[in-house]
């Protein structure tokens, strides 16, 4: 079976996210950019992001498009200074179970397969349990 990441910023072996880093000032952005928001430079290089970070904003989504199960947790995660938007998985979608500053870890999951057996792979974050 072939696995294909759902976005180009997701690398699978091992699972990690890749940001665009400005070659002039070093600012990092997750997702495509035409120019740096900090210095307007137009050249970027790839930069791997940490696989662990912390929740800096979140919401519990109660209403979504037809076919999308709710409720779920949508969040902004700080990965070493780069902000990434993703869902928090494997957690009860309530404010009692998700908090600002909560430590989370990157995870991948299957979004399904096409008729040729190619698997689409998405990403999210799971809480890091305090041990």
pLDDT of 129: 79
pLDDT of 1: 72
4: alpha, beta or left? (left if phi > 0; alpha if psi -120 to 50): beta
Q: How many CA atoms lie within 13 A of 37 on its CB side?
A: 8
Extents of the domains making up the chain:
3-127
| Residue pLDDT tens, the chain, 131 long | 799 999 999 999 899 999 999 999 999 999 889 999 999 999 999 999 999 999 999 999 999 999 889 999 999 999 999 999 999 999 999 999 999 999 999 999 999 999 998 999 999 999 997 54
- pTM of the prediction? 0.90
């Amino acid at each position: 079976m072939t696995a294909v990441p759902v976005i180009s910023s997701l690398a699978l072996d091992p699972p990690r996210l890749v940001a665009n880093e400005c070659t002039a000032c070093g600012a990092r952005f997750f997702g495509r950019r035409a120019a740096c928001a900090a210095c307007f430079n137009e050249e970027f290089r790839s930069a791997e992001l940490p696989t662990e970070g912390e929740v800096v904003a979140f919401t519990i989504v109660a209403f979504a498009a037809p076919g999308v199960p709710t409720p779920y947790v949508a969040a902004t995660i700080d990965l070493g200074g780069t902000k990434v938007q993703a869902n928090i998985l494997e957690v009860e979608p309530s404010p009692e179970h998700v908090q600002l500053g909560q430590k989370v870890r990157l995870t991948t999951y299957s979004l399904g397969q096409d008729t040729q057996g190619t698997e689409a792979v998405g990403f999210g974050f799971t809480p890091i349990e305090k041990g």
